[in-house]
Copies of this chain bind each other. A is one copy, B any other.
């Protein structure tokens, strides 16, 4: 069953390694596997915890280096929120933006081809070549606004 997760990503990584004359390693594969299984928006610390359940000997440094590698290979993207970096798988995923709840930290994804299109238009106008973007909308999710309302109005 392990082999059914992220087949394609593993190939992408392997190709990247060959192309750049880098070497394979068991650690990288374990980390990639954990990263892909973890779902989205993991921090380094979280990923380290997950990985170490399988292989307790893997070091924090290797997580950092692997995530950087995954980014370079186009497999991961980084989003910084609240003082620490978080990463999410990038491969084969629709492009999307993020709603981030400032109370519970939950991240909701959304996408809007319309927004993408507008961006492109503006970029063309100023001669800017888009390579990526980070669109984070900050606020309160339904759950947290409801909870706050139930708790009574806030004093100012």
Contact = CB atoms under 8 A, between A and B. Distances in A.
Interface in A102-136: 102, 108, 110, 112, 114-115, 118-119, 122-123, 126-136
Interface size class of A (residues with CB under 8 A): 20 to 34
Given A115-B115, A118-B114, A131 B123 contact: no
Contact of A133 (B127, B132, B138): B138
Interface stretch (A41-49, A64-72, A87-95, A139-147): A139-147
Nearest to A144: B129
Interface of A: 80, 99, 101-102, 108, 110, 112, 114-115, 118-119, 122-123, 126-142, 145
Contacts of A122: 110, 112
